[in-house]
Amino acid sequence: MSVRKTKYEMPEQDPKERIHNFKEVPYGYSKETAIEEAKRCLQCKNKPCMKGCPVEIDIPGFISCIASGDFEKAAEVIKAKNNLPAVSGRVCPYESQCEGECTIKKIGEPVGIGRLERFIADYERVKGAKIPQKVTSSEKKVAVVGAGPAGLTCAGDLAKMGHTVTVFEALHGPGGVLMYGIPEFRLPKKIVNAEVDYIKKLGVDIRYDMVIGKTITVEELFKEYDAVFVGTGAGLPNWLNIPGENLDGVYSANEFLTRINLMRAYEFPTYDTPIKMGKIVATFGAGNVAMDCARTALRLGAEKSYILYRRTEAEMPARIEEIHHAKQEGVEFKLLTNPLRFIGDVQGHLVEVEYQKMQLGEPDDSGRRRPVPIPGSEEKIHIDTALIAIGQSPNPLIPKSMKGLTLGKHGNIVTDDDGKTSIPGLFAGGDIATGAATVILAMGAGKRAARTIDAYVKAKK
Amino acid sequence: MYKIIEKKVLSENVKQMTIQAPLVAGKAQPGQFIILRIDEKGERIPLTIADFDRKSGTITIIFLEVGKTTQQLGTLNVGDVIENFVGPLGMPSEVKKYGTVVCIGGGVGIAPLYPVVKALREAGNYVISILGAKTQNLLILEKEIQLYSNEFYITTDDGSKGQKGFVSDVLKQVIDKKGTINMVMAIGPIIMMKVVSDVTRKYNIKTLVSLNPIMIDGTGMCGGCRVSVDGKTKFACVDGPEFDGLKVDYDNLMLRNRRFVHEEGAACKLVGVVQ
């Protein structure tokens, strides 16, 4: 029997339609297509795909359940390892993880593992997720700081192990970057809420308006809890550090996306938080956040949405799917372009950006070819909104407020692979430890830390 | 949910509320702020802490009704609840013994000045307070601040109370009379802090100002509250809100605080609020 060389297509909203709404872009597989796609899996004995999965899902296991039509069992297999499959089934960079290792890649497209995970997660959510039976309480209490992907994963796993878990969240709602960062059209908020509900049903208590380091200190948490996990993520937006960056019209990606996603500024004035968007928008950077910005700008009525990036498409850090969707929607890429300064009018509103053209030189530390300026290539274009999406540094609140905590050179909390920090009983994972990375790597770190914490609190008298 | 346990009307558009928030009150220090969100559809706004009581677990806020959210907040009454109330945020004021200090408050900026005046006096400073407002009716916390001040002055733009003119006029007189001033603390409209800093710069007096840029999360995540201090970008929420007044780019702050004036106007019109 020969294997189909291409993935079954996942239907999605027409680009012409979708740039006028915030509804999710892909519709997901039907049952029939999911079964057909699952049948493409070769069920390799050595399971190469699993090596690429930060949360250790038994991938061939759940796919064989789908192939035989047992979706409930497939959900069980996934949930045994992954507390947030509807999230990872949408935002994981599969191409460089599970699907990157798939054997079929040698002859064609890999199995659509991400699409299948998403299908099962959605199937289960509509049916009502099964809550695993509670294990006997360990009588141990763990505090988790931050209700983002790392914190929620860690909390969920610890609860499954029988520990009493309280999550402390600074914002007024759960999800962290899943809520404030990733737009509705890529990750609908009701799906995040459903995943959070599952974590709560495992017995996890989430408390809001709690800025650890300010409202309560980590030292105080230790008086009440046997261990503390810090998953406060990457806040603190990075800047280009060029003239004019504080003009009216220049936003950090975080501010722009937070206004729209968390505070729902796209529904202003029904919601009170405003956003001011021009007609010609330029996003700086080429990661997933940059794609989110450029695509959101179109949905808010931008006539032009540019992405300016110093290197070429080959070096873009965004997922292939995001770049593909951005192009489909009409985002214009200005590559090998380095901004020099923002120019304002007399009132201080942004009206232009000056940039220079680049060419690729020798490889730098990251192994990517370093962009070098082409002398005399300066140009200006008219823009009225600039979105700076060139990464974030770790949130400074806990690192700043704790004595004796070893920090890295970017202010990140230094941990070992298992999430241990320099302070006994204090664990950390996700962007606060690694610097800005992906949702799934944060989930993986939360998972490993949960195991370490489990061993730590059990050994503690 | 955070309950309003006391409400006072201080002047026409200025209201004072005491909110039950024990965890915030337990940690609050002069100079810090809170962020509140009235309800599920509300925006997050920062307000500097005007007073706190650790024993009763309360925080006092004083606000000028300028936009949709503050107007709506003003309609709430004792017993009503606010959905979110988070803090204390930002770095506390640099309270220590400086010697002779001048504390200047303008308009609703007098409110956050109050805990600082109290703390500076308790730290053993000779405290000279100067309060300014457009007109007599807009002056707040006169008695409270006078109680903790060694010297006390009032200015109004229209001369309805105290000296006619601006706080900076009195500041100059005080500096000339005293000779040595070790520190000036100014909280009020941006233009007032700018003018005060122009005066103190001439005399090379250490000057602290408390800035109130637009914020969302208040924890260093969004970058909306960035201000330029000594040519460097700082975040008022985690690095401030207090900064070296001689080094702040006030013009940029004024520009950035007007970013959503048009939208704010639309929101107010929609709910029938007169701006």
- Partner-chain residue, chosen from A236, A239, A275, that has the shortest CB–CB distance to B220: A236
Q: Are residues B112 and B191 in the same domain?
A: yes
| Chain B residue with minimum CA distance to A257 | B222
Q: What are the chain B neighbours of A255 within 8 Å (beta carbons)?
A: 216, 222-224
What pLDDT, on the 0 to 100 scale, is given for residue B274?
A: 44
Tell me the nearest-neighbour CA distance from B11 into chain A, angstroms. 26
CB contact (8 A) between residue B84 and residue A276: no
Question: Residue B51 domain-assigned?
Answer: yes
* Chain A residues inside the 8 Å CB shell of B269: none
Higher pLDDT, A403 or B110: B110
For residue B268, pLDDT beyond 70: no
Same-domain status, B217 and B200: no
Cβ <8 Å between A254 and B88:
no
Look at residue A33 in the predicted model and tell me its pLDDT. 96
Residues B199, B221 share a domain: no
- Predicted pLDDT of residue B271: 53
CATH class of A15-127: mainly alpha
On chain B, the residues whose CB falls within 8 A of the CB of A216 are 23, 27
Evaluate the CA torsion angle A217, A218, A220, A221 in order and state its sign.
Answer: positive
> Same domain, yes or no, for B216 and B194?
no
Question: Alpha carbon of A336 to those of A307, A386, B107: distances in Å?
Answer: 11, 18, 51
**C-alpha distance from A217 to closest chain B C-alpha (Å):** 10
Do residue B196 and residue B222 come from a single domain?
A: no
Chain segment A103-158, per-residue pLDDT in tens: 999 999 999 999 999 999 999 999 987 888 888 888 999 999 999 999 999 999 99
ipTM metric: 0.91
Structural domain tally of chain B?
3
**Main-chain dihedrals φ then ψ at residue A171, nearest 5 degrees:** -80, 180
- Pick from B44, B68, B224: which is nearest to A255 by CB? B224
Residue B228, chain A, CB below 8 Å: the answer is yes
pLDDT of B136 strictly over 70: yes
Measure A199 CA to nearest chain B CA, in Å.
Answer: 22
The two domains A141-235+393-459 and A239-390 share their CATH topology (first three levels equal): yes
Minimum mean pLDDT range among A315-324, B36-45, B202-211, B255-264: B255-264
Instruction: List the domain range (segments joined by +) for residue B135.
Output: 101-204
- The beta-carbon neighbor of B226 closest among A246, A262, A273 is A246
Paired strand residues for B9: B15
Instruction: Report CB contact under 8 Å: A347, B255.
Output: yes
My answer on whether B121 and B194 are in the same domain is yes
| Contact check, Cβ <8 Å, B27/A397 | no
Q: Do A273 and B221 touch (CB under 8 A)?
A: no
Which pLDDT score, from 0 to 100, does residue B67 have? 86
Contact at CB, B217 and A237, closer than 8 angstroms = no
Contact call for A248 and B255, based on CB within 8 A? yes
Give the minimum alpha-carbon distance from B25 to chain A in angstroms, rounded to a whole number: 9
User: What is residue A402's predicted lDDT score, i.e. its pLDDT?
Assistant: 85
User: Residue B157 domain-assigned?
Assistant: yes
What is the tens place of the pLDDT at every residue in B31-90?
999 999 999 999 999 999 999 999 999 999 999 998 889 999 999 999 999 999 999 999
Q: Do B222 and A236 touch (CB under 8 A)?
A: no
The residue with tokens 């802490």 is: B49
CA distance B71 to B63: 9
Mean pLDDT of chain B: 92
Q: Which of chain B's residues have a Cβ under 8 Å away from the Cβ of A263? A: 43-44, 216
C-alpha to C-alpha distance for B213 and A284, rounded to whole angstroms: 24
Residue burial B49-65, b: 16+ Cβ < 10 Å; e: rest: bbbbeeeebbbbbbbbb
Partner-chain contact A214 B89, CB within 8 Å: yes
Q: Any chain A CB within 8 A of the CB of B69?
A: yes
Beta pairing class for A141-145 and A227-230: parallel
pLDDT confidence band for B272 (50 / 70 / 90): low
Q: Does the pLDDT at position B275 exceed 80?
A: no
B173 shares its domain with B228: no
Best CA proximity match to B19, nearest among B60, B48, B55: B60
Does B87 reach chain A within 8 Å, measured CB to CB?
A: yes
8 A C-beta contact, residue A4 and residue A40: yes
Please give the structure tokens belonging to residue A157.
């796993």
Q: Choose among A211, A237, A251: nearest Cβ to B89.
A: A211
Does B268 map to a domain?
no
Low-confidence ranges of chain A (pLDDT < 50): none
Same domain assignment for residues B79 and B131 = no
Subunit contact A348:B255, Cβ cutoff 8 A: yes
For domain A141-235+393-459, the question of CATH label 3.40.190.10 is answered with: no
Residue B200 sits in the same domain as residue B215: no
Taking an 8 Å cut-off on Cβ atoms, the answer to whether A276 and B260 are in contact is yes
**Please, which residues bridge with residue A385 across strands?**
A281
Record the pTM.
0.93
Q: How confident is the model at residue B257 (pLDDT cuts 50, 70, 90)?
A: confident
Whether B235 and chain A come into contact, CB under 8 Å, resolves to yes
Interface test with A, best of B221, B232, B252 (most A CBs within 10 A): B221
Q: Does some domain include residue B158?
A: yes
Which chain A residue has its CA at the smallest distance from B2's CA? A209
Helix axes A59-67, A31-38, angle to 10 degrees: 120
| B264 falls within a domain | no
Per the CB < 8 Å rule, is A170 touching B217? yes
Are B197 and B127 in a shared domain? yes
pLDDT the model gives residue A277: 86
In the predicted model, is pLDDT for residue B165 greater than 50? Answer: yes
Q: Which of B54, B89, B124 is the last residue in one of the domains?
A: B89
**Identity of the residue in B43, B223, B233 whose CB atom sits nearest the CB atom of A254:** B223
Residue A182 CA to residue A293 CA, distance in Å, equals: 9
Interchain pair B259, A259: CB under 8 A: no
> What is the chain B residue with the closest CA to A396?
B220
Q: How far is B22 from chain A (nearest CA, A)?
A: 10
Give the pLDDT of residue A137: 87
Nearest-CB residue to B223 (from A252, A396, A400): A252
Residues B134 and B159 in one domain: yes
Structural contact between residues A178 and A233, judged by C-beta atoms closer than 8 angstroms? no
The CATH T-level fold of domain A239-390 is: FAD/NAD(P)-binding domain (3.50.50)
For A363-398, letters b (16+ CB in 10 Å) and e give eeeeeebebebeeeeeeeeebbbbbbbbbbbbbbbb
* Domain CATH code at residue B167: 3.40.50.80
Residues B8 and B84 in one domain: yes
- What is the CATH classification number for the domain harbouring B23? 2.40.30.10
CA of B81 to nearest chain A CA: how many angstroms apart?
Answer: 15
pLDDT of B228 over the 90 cut = yes
Non-local CB neighbours of B94 within 8 Å, separated by 6+ positions: B208, B242
Say if the Cβ atoms of A255 and B266 lie within 8 Å: no
| Contacts with A345 from chain B: Cβ below 8 Å | none
Q: How many CB atoms lie within 10 A of CB A91?
A: 24
Inter-CA distances, B49 with B19, B61, B86, B112, Å = 11, 6, 11, 6
Name chain A contacts of B217, Cβ cutoff 8 Å: 170-171, 180, 235, 258
Domain positions in chain A are 15-127, 141-235+393-459, 239-390
